[in-house]
Structure 1
Amino acid sequence: MAVAEDIKDRVAVEDARIPTVICDDVHIVYTVNGGGGGRGSATAALSRIVKRDKTGGAGRGMRRVHAVKGVSFTAYRGEAIGLIGSNGSGKSTLLRAIAGLLPPESGRVYTDGQPSLLGVNAALMNDLTGERNVILGGLAMGMSREEVKERYEEIVDFSGINDKGDFISLPMRTYSSGMAARLRFSIAAAKDHDVLMIDEALATGDRQFQIRSEERIRELRKHAGTVFLVSHSIGSIRDTCDRVLWLERGELLMDGPTDEVVKAYQKESGR
């Protein structure tokens, strides 16, 4: 009887969880230039496009890359999910598909709310000052001008951009890659998100900034939906995530509790 009650309680907990992202047998395939001599001119590029249009295929000298292969999982509100795997395993590609930036060749991606993708290459305008980018970035995320104004100082302080001078008033092109990545993260973290995806953002900056970032992710989990984190830092994954997806060569090898998946990954990779 006690066992039956325990099972009933666990089922009730499962039913109470709210799905935020469902990937159902997702395959992502894209076409890349296969390379070759004398293929860099505009005339050659135009010729390849015309040939591809006529044939309806990838065209000569082009190759299809099967970046994500039949990945299925369900993410729930309140989870922080790490994505690990070697370079080229499909982690960033999968996040772009969840964000709606890459259409799956087959399978489906369902999301509850608006996914937001934050990466070290997230678009900010290099010719504008950090201050203008904070304002435009906040507006682009759906914040009102009043909300941006209220959170402006918090965003700048969190990023640490002005710790060694008045850099926020300088154009973004004068920033180091680490400074730019910290500002991107700070802008994105100023708003609660339905689904927030972070691609390597915690790999930049000093340990103090990484700690602040990890604390902010934990806060986002309390008030928002789901956080996905792609990082080569196993320490950041352990400190931030309660669940991990391990991808290799586009396939989902393992999905489970952080310690369990990380141990298996480290044993296999020798890291």
Structure 2
Amino acid sequence: MPAPAAAPVDPRVPTVVVDGVDIVYRVNGTGSGRGSATAALNRILRRKETEKASGVRKVHAVKNVSFVAYKGEAIGLIGTNGSGKSTLLKAVAGLLPVENGRIFTDGQPSLLGVNAALMNDLTGERNVHLGGLAMGMSRAEIKERYQDIVDFSGINEKGDFITLPMRTYSSGMAARLRFSIAAAKNHDVLLIDEALATGDAKFQKRSEERIRELRKEAGTVFLVSHSNKSIRDTCERVIWLERGEMRLDGPTDEVIREYEKFSKR
């Protein structure tokens, strides 16, 4: 009797596994005892009872989400405001704890957001060096790639802005510099939150091309954006979250088509 055929082996390499993840925010109310050491200890020892008594409100931001991302993929995260997209990215980056479930990553995730902190009192030049060091680049690597970062950002196209303090930059200029710093390094997992929504069409095109290069050279890219065009141009897979729940996970055109139908209701 012939042996049963072996199950086909998936040649893809997983980089992120999200397994039944719940993320809950707790918003403090105005209950009695708030602010005292005794009340704080009680909240730790009897959290459920004291949360109810002190008026703590729970916000269930992400609900039982599961998926696997693979090396070489660019995955778009879409959904209406408050659907849990940015919260999920922060959890994958290790910046938020999960209430239930687990998140596994192969390598170091790097989160790039438009609101990522740069030091406003320092020049763009100093921020390039500090940002590079924060991402694990050596001083030699930063020196080697410095001019490419400045050129990519377009900061100096209308003057020598890179030598000015960041507080003199427009929000668009600062966002372009953030993306340029992050894009200078190959990442195991790169998480981009609305970065392509800033800048002119020329910069958006450069950003999309760089994301394609990152996919070829390294790991996985996640992109949160309200621009369906950016998602279509950049990603071949899309995860749609709505009210914290996963509605669809599949090919870009298919998922965006369903999302656009939902948005027009």
- The TM-score with structure 1 as length reference comes to 0.89
| Structure 1 residue matching 2:54: 3-state secondary structure | coil
Counterpart of 1:28 in structure 2 is 23
1:46 aligns with 2:35: yes
Structure 1: state its 5+ residue gaps. Answer: none
Matching of residues 63-142 of structure 1 within 5 Å:
63-142=57-136
Distance 1:50 1:137 in 2: 41
Cα-to-partner distance string for 1:62-105 (whole Å, 9 max, x where unaligned) = 21111000000000000000000000000000000000001111
- Report whether the alignment pairs 1:148 with 2:142: yes
For 2:34 and 2:139, how far apart are their aligned partners in 1? Answer: 44
Query: Which amino acid counterpart does residue 28 of structure 1 have in structure 2?
Result: I
Q: For the residues of structure 2 that align with 1:50 and 1:100, how far apart are their CA atoms?
A: 30
Cα distance in 1 for residues equivalent to 2:250 and 2:195: 23
Q: CA deviation at 1:45?
A: 6.4
CA change 1:77–1:22 in 2 (3 A) is same
SS of the residue corresponding to residue 158 of structure 2 reads coil
- The correspondence of residues 102-251 of structure 1 with structure 2, limited to 5 A, is 102-251=96-245
SS of equivalent residue, structure 2 residue 157: coil
SS at match of 1:24: strand
Whole-Å separation in 1 of the counterparts to 2:134 and 2:257: 39
The number of equivalent residue pairs is 254
Tell me how far apart the structure 2 counterparts of residues 95 and 219 of structure 1 sit (CA, whole Å): 21
Q: Tell me, in whole angstroms, the C-alpha distance in 2 between the residues paired with 1:28 and 1:51.
A: 24
Q: Equivalents in 2 of 1:110, 1:17: separation in Å?
A: 16
CA distance in 2, matches of 1:45, 1:171: 41
Match of 2:250 in 1: 256
Q: Which residue of 1 aligns with 2:12?
A: 17
Question: How far off is 1:139 after superposition?
Answer: 1.0
> Please, what is the CA RMSD of the aligned residues?
2.0
TM-score if structure 2 supplies the norm length? 0.91
Instruction: Write the deviation string for residues 143-193 of structure 1: whole angstroms up to 9, x where unpaired.
Output: 111110010000001001111111100111111111111000000000000
Provide the rounded CA distance (Å) in 1 between the counterparts of 2:168 and 2:72.
37
For structure 2, which runs of at least 5 residues remain unmatched after alignment?
Answer: none
Aligned equivalents of 1:117, 1:160: Cα separation in 2: 22
Instruction: Give how far 1:50 is off.
Output: 5.2
**Shift of residue 30, structure 1, vs aligned partner:** 1.3
- The amino acid across from 1:153 in the alignment is Q
Say which SS state the counterpart of residue 26 (structure 2) adopts.
strand
Residue identity opposite 1:220 in structure 2? L
What's the offset of the Cα at 1:52? 4.5
Q: Distance in 2 between matches of 1:46 and 1:109?
A: 33
C-alpha distance in 2, partners of 1:45/1:172?
Answer: 39
